[in-house]
């Protein structure tokens, strides 16, 4: 009877397996901090101030290549940070940086062995941390940047490396959030490969219908994307190529395109902000 009474009390007070759920706010953002063919480098500091106002707990950045970008994309609000691989033997490093309000328990980096064309000038790869939340729970975060050049064969080979890397270094007791610039759209073979073989879900699709495409690269609305594409003799397009991929016991509560208005368009990409529950 005492055990039954205790269970009744716990139920009546709202005790459940979700009572201890914790919310985490995350931003993934391609900074466009590349060393060539880029203008308006003043925008780095303004972008960081915008991020500070947004106040996510974790920030996963890509293309933080240059010294100016590395100096700008840091903040006292984020006492913990982890960078991806350095520049040797490429022209620039990975461009990957994770900013965290939470202590980092583990850090590992990966450089993709397969690359094509201009992407081979950088050490594109993956940047993994295990962060400890205030509750004592931990999450695996993986930032990555796949090739723009080389087609689906190159990107799938990189996804295979990413799969092995994350499986090896992540803590299997923790949920995993993989974020960054994947350079493929939601209808691609690369997307299907990631979903089926890496056992991940697409956070944007969990919160939005097909009528809300969530473009993160838009040459028709983003003047930086438009001008850069014209300057490099590319084809104008708009698509969702940046993602939050989820694995394990993590629930997507909200995903929103950020840094996409006249004041905060400070890169050729827009950012994705997400709120997650673990």
Average pLDDT taken over every residue of the chain: 92
Q: What is the mean pLDDT of residues 186-208?
A: 97
Rounded to two decimals, what is the model's pTM? 0.91
Residue 5 predicted with pLDDT over 70:
no
pLDDT class of 49 with cuts at 50, 70, 90? very high
Q: Which sign, positive or negative, has the C-alpha torsion 30, 33, 39, 45?
A: positive
Band (pLDDT 50/70/90 cuts) for residue 37 is low
Q: Which CATH code for domain 21-277?
A: 3.60.10.10
For the residues 121-128, what does the mean pLDDT come to?
93
* Domain boundary assignment for the chain: 21-277
Over residues 80-105, the pLDDT tens digits come to 999 998 777 677 899 999 999 999 99
pLDDT in tens, 9-35: 444 444 334 458 899 999 999 999 988
Instruction: Work out the average pLDDT over 39-43.
Output: 89
Which of 65-79, 87-101, 164-178, 191-205 shows the lowest mean pLDDT across its residues?
A: 87-101
Peptide bond before 45: cis, by omega within 30 degrees of 0? Answer: no
- For residue 17, the model assigns a pLDDT of 41
Q: What is the model's pLDDT at position 11?
A: 43
Q: What is the pLDDT of residues 231-242, one digit of tens each?
A: 989 999 999 999
CA–CA separation, 173 and 7 (whole Å) = 27
**Residue 4: pLDDT band by 50, 70, 90 thresholds?**
very low
């Amino acid at each position: 009877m005492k055990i039954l009474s205790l269970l009744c009390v716990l139920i009546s007070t709202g005790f459940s397996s979700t009572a201890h759920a914790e919310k985490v706010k995350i931003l993934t953002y391609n900074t466009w901090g590349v060393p060539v063919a880029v203008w308006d480098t003043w925008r780095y500091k303004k972008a960081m101030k915008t991020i500070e106002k947004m106040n996510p707990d974790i920030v996963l950045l890509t293309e933080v290549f240059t010294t100016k970008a590395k100096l700008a994309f840091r903040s006292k609000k984020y006492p913990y940070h982890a960078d991806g691989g350095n520049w040797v033997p490429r022209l620039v490093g990975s461009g990957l940086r994770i900013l965290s309000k939470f202590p980092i328990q583990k850090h590992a980096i990966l450089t993709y062995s397969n690359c094509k064309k201009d992407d081979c000038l950088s050490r594109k790869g993956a940047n993994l941390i295990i962060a400890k939340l205030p509750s004592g729970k931990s999450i695996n975060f993986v930032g990555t940047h796949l090739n723009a050049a080389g087609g689906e064969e190159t990107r799938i080979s990189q996804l295979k490396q990413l799969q092995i890397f994350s499986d090896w270094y992540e803590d299997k007791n923790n949920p995993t959030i993989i974020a960054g610039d994947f350079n493929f759209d939601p209808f691609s073979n690369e997307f299907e490969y990631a979903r089926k073989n890496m056992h991940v879900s697409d956070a944007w699709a969990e919160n939005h219908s097909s009528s809300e495409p969530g473009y993160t690269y838009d040459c028709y609305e983003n003047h930086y994307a438009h001008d850069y594409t014209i300057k490099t003799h590319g084809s104008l397009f708009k698509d969702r190529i940046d993602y939050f991929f989820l694995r394990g016991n993590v629930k997507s509560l909200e995903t929103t395109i950020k840094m996409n208005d006249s004041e905060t368009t400070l890169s050729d990409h827009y950012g994705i902000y997400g709120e997650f529950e673990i």
